[in-house]
Amino acid sequence: MAEVHVQDGENLESALRRFKRKVQTEDIIKEIKRHSFYLKPGEKKRTKEALKSGPGIPNSPFLTSNKSGQARYPDLPFIF
């Protein structure tokens, strides 16, 4: 649990900024999201395997396969 004690003469904005930084470093938000719903053991295993399999989403329209069966990304213009 993240705690921040407001010191004498400290404004509330700086204390709130310290609290947000502490929450972020302790990964409290990530932990809450992970425990917000229950995953069955099989689903947990499938999601773990899907994350390990590599970049891209298998059913993505942008991901195509070449003749050797390996996935490749088409030449798309990237605009940033």
Which residues contact residue 28 at a Cβ distance below 8 angstroms, ignoring those fewer than 6 apart?
2
CA–CA distance, 24 with 2 (Å, rounded to integer): 10
Number of structural domains (the chain) is: 1
Does a structural domain hold residue 69?
A: no
Does a structural domain hold residue 38?
A: yes
User: Using DSSP, how many helices (H) and how many strands (E) does the chain show?
Assistant: 3, 2
What is the tens place of the pLDDT at every residue in 3-42? 889 999 999 999 999 999 998 888 888 888 888 888 889 9
Residue 65 one-letter amino acid: S
Domain that holds residue 29: 10-51
Does a structural domain hold residue 64?
A: no
Helix (H, G, I), strand (E, B) or coil at 5: coil
What is the tens place of the pLDDT at every residue in 47-59? 888 877 666 555 5
